[in-house]
Amino acid sequence: MNQPYKAPADITLPPFIWLPLLLLAAMQAISFIYLAATASFPLPGYDLLHMLRDYMQQGFSAAGLLPLYNGHLVLLPKLLLFADVMLTGGHIGNLATLALLAWIGCFLVLAWAVWQAPLSRPWRALLLLGLAVLLFRAFQLEAIVIPNGYNYPLSCLLALTAMVLWAPAGAGPVRAASAAICCLAAATCLANSLLLLPLLALAEFIRPGRYRVLNLAWLGLAAALLALLYGTGYLLRSPAPLLFGGWNWGGWNWGGFAAFFLHILGAPLIVMLPAIGYALAAAILLLALALLGLFARAATRLSQLDRLAMLLLLFGLGSIAMVTLARADSGAINGSAGRYAMLNAFVLAGILLSLPGATALLGWRQPKLLPAGLLPWGLLLFALSLLPEQIVVSRSYRTLGAEAAADAAALRQGARDPALYRHIGGASPANAAQLNDLAAHRLYGLQ
């Protein structure tokens, strides 16, 4: 019963498939990195202005670091933000660079997991190229280019590292402790990373190992520390939001929840071509659930890569569900925000990494059955379909970056025209007062 399944079916990856895939992946990665390095906004956005208010009022203290923001304990992002202000006088480019490096790190962590898996060369090449295509979509630039969401790539990197550390069979206490530390750090960036603790505990029961009690003890310690930190942050902010904040307990709008959830899975296509986008999102959801069902039936026979794929799918879908419960009242269109595409990337990466194990479990063996041989063609068509998105979104961020740079230059010269506030959250009295406070302290080059 616990015997591992047979090796996945062989696939062929001829030059007329892998060469276009390589060119498309390289183009996406280069354009993504170039835009992240050149189009980032030069002043703090709305969320950072509110975090900076804690620093201006409370300084580098528990009262400034621990209060929840929109239900998230943003301890690690605040530490980085406050340190940047203290050491450099405020330079958003530092945070954008950190976010970019973190997202590149996400690719490298997953690539390392693929490289360690016992796969044939065509399978390994297909998965690595697919990861590059998925993770360097221009649509995911929002959390890097716009200086509000650098906590997203940081949280993603820490979460992925925890999953990769936990996935191997027989992983010992050192790996478990390292994974628990990553869980702890990830959950101090975004609240959805709290999901990691029960998911890793679940994974502990479906893999062979001798250190179950000790490994679970590490997770328990991380959970206790997070409960203490979140509880303290909850008490320090009044009125304190529940977990994510903004939950509407007056009634459940199931249609709104479903639309928001599918917008995250189907963006940005769902905005431009709603019918096709909804169909794509539904197909992604059904495929993810089918793969989870397949792996659940063979839970004790899964490979290390299968367990990682299962964790990616569960964490991605769970995170999207948490965001949906917290944000659906704002309207389905807000589910298309680029920062949520980083959560969607977990689902898509989980589907991709599950393909070798799924083909083996289903018995798709060439040349008897064709589906395994069609996978490279499917990935190539998917990569080609992303070209319009890459071009349109890249141009949009290039334009936004130029506008933000011009507005920031005027604000730094002392101008306070409300129109200049468009890229830092709008011309609200609170934003104007916060910007004037930063100028009074000569932060971010303001005067």
Going by C-alpha positions, the residue among 374, 383, 401, 303 that lies closest to residue 39 is 401
Query: Is the four-CA dihedral 193, 194, 199, 200 of positive or negative sign?
Result: positive
Q: Nearest to residue 158, comparing CAs of 321, 346, 351? A: 346
Q: Indicate the SS3 state at residue 72.
A: strand
**Residues 352, 350, 35, 33, CA torsion sign:** negative
3-state secondary structure of 29: helix
pTM assigned to the model: 0.90
Burial label, 341 (beta-carbon count in 10 A; 0-12, 13-18, 19+): buried
The three-state secondary structure class of 287 is helix
pLDDT tens digits for range 215-266? 888 888 888 888 888 877 777 764 434 444 444 444 567 788 899 999 999 8
State pLDDT tens for residues 128-148.
999 999 999 988 888 888 877
5: pLDDT strictly greater than 70:
no
Contact 352, 131 (CB under 8 A): yes
In this prediction, residue 270 has a pLDDT band, given cuts at 50, 70 and 90, of: confident
Q: Is the pLDDT of residue 369 over 60?
A: no
39-95, pLDDT tens digit by residue?
A: 878 888 888 888 888 788 777 777 788 888 877 888 899 999 988 888 888 888 888
Which among 182, 204, 206, 202 is positioned nearest to 193, based on CA atoms?
182
Q: SS3 of 96, please?
A: helix
